[in-house]
Amino acid sequence: FRIGTPIEFPAGTTRILPERQVRIVSTDQGLAAMSLVCTHLGCIVGESPSGFLCPCHGSSFDPQGKVTGGPAPRPLRWLQVSQGADGALQVDATKEVSPDVYYRPMKIG
Ligand code: FES
């Protein structure tokens, strides 16, 4: 799915896209997308002082999505970010990447 143009995600910012259930992290190294879908039974996690918290059964995650408590069996998923021919950023929810993979957008147009 498309998330917008690189200019909408300046380095040093993070943005939650609630309708897409992802959190976009933008750094000097590029962009990454973390899924907010809990790996327990699929509820949507919310931000908490120590990272993320699942409202359903109380799983907690650190800011990188690693499990810090509760029944969640796996960390939150990081999803592949890429760019369309028109320069729009896109996230592929079917492609998981490791949390240290950042996509560096090309300036188009
Ligand atoms: Fe998140 Fe159960 S769905 S803890």
Residue range 9-49, pLDDT digits in tens: 999 999 999 999 999 999 999 999 999 999 999 999 999 99
Question: Ligand 1 centroid vs 49 CA: distance in angstroms?
Answer: 18
Instruction: Name the E strands within the chain.
Output: 2-4, 14-17, 22-27, 30-35, 46-48, 51-53, 60-61, 67-69, 78-83, 89-97
pLDDT tens across 80-91, in order? 999 999 999 999
Question: Ligand 1 centroid vs 25 CA: distance in angstroms?
Answer: 23
pTM of the predicted model, to two decimals?
A: 0.94
Question: Ligand 1 centroid vs 24 CA: distance in angstroms?
Answer: 21
